[in-house]
Structure 1
Amino acid sequence: MSALRENALHEKFDLPGTDLARAACQFAEEQEGPYLFNHSVRSYLYGRALGEHRGLRPGADYDDELLFLSCVLHDLGLSAQDRGDQRFEVGGADAAARFLRERDVPEERVEVVWDSIALHTSLGIASRKRPEIALLHLGAGADVAGDGLDLLPADLVTEAEDLLPRLDLITSITDAIVEHAKADPRRAPLGTFPSLLVAEFAPEHAQPGWRQVVAAHAASH
C-alpha cells in the first residue's frame, strides 16, 4: 500500500494507528488480493459501527486494536501462502497468531485474535462471545451477506466502498473458499461453512453427508 493511500484510509476512517496495526495492515495487503484486503478493512469499519449501534464504545467496552487486528488478518487462510490442512478460518487464525507472536504480542491478546478469526463464520456462537469476536463476525457478515447493513450510516458504506471497492467480492471469495477446500478435503469438514460451499458449488468434491457417515459407522459394528 502506498503511504499516501494508507494515510488517507487512516485519516478518513480513524483506523488504529499503532505500529502493530499498521504492520498488520501492510502484511495483509501483501498476502491477499485487493478484493480480500478491502473486505477485511470494511469488516472492521462495519463491525465498529455495529458495535456503536449496540452502545459499545471502542477503547471503553472493547479493545479497538484487537478488533482491527482480527478483522484485517481474518482471511489470511485464503492466501496463497496457506498450505495447511485446516479449514480457512482456522488456517487464518494460525497465520495471524504467528504474525503476532513474531512481534512479541502477549499471549492473552494473541488468543483473542485467534478466537475471533477461527469463529468468524460460526453463526450463533461468535455473536455471543466477547465484543472483539462478535464484532468481527458482525462486520464480515454485513459486508458479505448484508446482515445488519441497514443499521449502518449510509455515508459510511458509500465512503468505504469508494476507497475500498468491492471488486466482485462475492464471486471471488466464494471461488477462493471452494478452491481452497478442493485442494485438501480436510479443509472442509462436515458441517462447516466451507463444506456448505463445496456441496453447493463443487458437489463432486463434497464430503460424505451425515447419513453416509452414521451408516458407515453402523455397518462397521
Structure 2
Amino acid sequence: MTDTYQELPFPRTELTGNAIRFARDIEEPAIFNHSMRTYLYGRFLGEQQGLRPDHDYDDELLFLGSVLHDAGLSGQGNGDQSFDLDGADLAAGFLTDQGLSPDRVEIVWDAVALHLHHDIAVRKRPEIALVSAGAGYDLSPAGSAPLPAGYANQVHAALPRLHTTAVLYDTIVGQALDKPHKAPPYTMTGELVRQRTQATWPTWEQLMTSPPSWHDYDGYRPSTGLPSHSTTREEH
C-alpha cells in the first residue's frame, strides 16, 4: 500500500492492495478517494457502536466492500443494471479471480449491492451495514457523530475530495442518460435523472394501466373515505 496512506488505519493484506490497484485503475479519482474514505468512516461509525475490527467484524471484508462499492460507476463496470448491482457483480468477479472463497465474496456482493439501501443494510452483518453507513457519512456527515479533532483534515490530505458529490451525481446521471433503463422511475438514480432532465414521471395508475395490464382500475371505486386516484378516467 502506498506511503500516502501509511498514517491511516487501512488493513494491509495482499488482497486489499490488489483491490486498491483495481479500483484506482478503473474509477475517477474522486470516486476512488470516496471509496477509500468510506472504509475509514464506516470503521469510525462502527467504533461508535462498540464494534472492534477483526473481533466483531472482518476488517478485510469491510475494506473490500468499501473500496469496491462504486465499481459500477466505472467504464468497466457500466453494464445494463443499476450501478449498485453492476458494481456488485464486477466486485464479485474480481474477488473470485483473486481466489476469495465464495462465502466471503457473497458478503462483499451484498455490501456493494445494498449500499444505497441503508435501511436494509443496517439490519445485515457489520461488514455490510458499515459500508452503507460509511458511504453516506462521506457524502454528508450531518446528524452523525463528529470525527475526532483533526481527523477529517488528515483523511482529506491523503484522499482529497475532488468535488466528490458533484462527480458522483454527474457520473450516475451520465450513465443513465446513455442507458435509461439503469434509472427507472421512483429509484434513487431515477430521481437524480429527473432532477437533471425535469422529466415528468407517470403516476401509479398510469403505470398499472399501461398496456398490457390486468385492468384493475376498470370500474373501480375507492373505499369510503379514501380519495380517488383518478379524476379523469372514463367510467367503464
Same fold (TM > 0.5): yes
What 5-or-longer segments of structure 2 have no aligned partner? 216-236
C-alpha separation in 1, matches of 2:201 and 2:180? 7
Counterpart of 1:60 in structure 2: which amino acid? H
Note the residue ranges of structure 1 that are not aligned, 5 or more in a row. none
Report the counterpart of residue 214 of structure 1 in structure 2: 208
Residue 7 of structure 2 aligns to a residue whose secondary structure is helix
CA contact (8 A) 2:72 2:83 kept: yes
- Pairing 1:35–2:39 present: no
Against the structure 1 CA distance between its residues 147 and 68, is the aligned structure 2 distance closer, same or farther, given a 3 Å change threshold?
farther
Does structure 2 retain, via aligned residues, the 8 Å contact 1:45–1:139? yes
The aligned runs of 1:90-105 (5 Å cut-off) are: 90-105=85-100
Q: Which residue of 2 aligns with 1:63?
A: 58
Of all paired residues, the percent bearing the same amino acid is 46
Bigger mean CA deviation after superposition, 153-162 or 209-218? 209-218
User: Counterpart of 1:210 in structure 2: which amino acid?
Assistant: W
Give the CA RMSD over aligned residues.
1.8
- How do 1:146-157 residues align onto structure 2 when only pairs under 5 Å count? 146-147=141-142, 149-157=144-152
Distance 2:185 2:47 in 1: 35
2: CA distance between counterparts of 1:207 and 1:100?
A: 38
Q: What is the distance in 1 between the residues matched to 2:201 and 2:75?
A: 23
Find out whether 1:126 has 2:121 as its counterpart: yes
Question: Aligned pair 1:201/2:223, yes or no?
Answer: no
Q: Which has the larger radius of gyration?
A: 2
Residue number among 149, 160, 164 corresponding to 1:169 in the alignment = 164
Deviation at 1:157, TM superposition (A): 1.3
Between Structure 1 and Structure 2, which shows a larger proportion of helix residues? 1
**SS of alignment partner, residue 15 of structure 1:** coil
Contact preservation (8 Å) 1:185, 1:207: no
- Secondary structure of 1:85's match? coil
Moved more, 146-155 or 35-44: 146-155
Q: What amino acid is aligned across from residue 72 of structure 1 in structure 2? A: V
What SS class does the counterpart of residue 128 from structure 1 fall into? coil
1:123, distance to aligned residue in structure 2 (A)? 3.0
Aligned length: 215
Contact 1:43 1:142 in 2 (8 A): yes
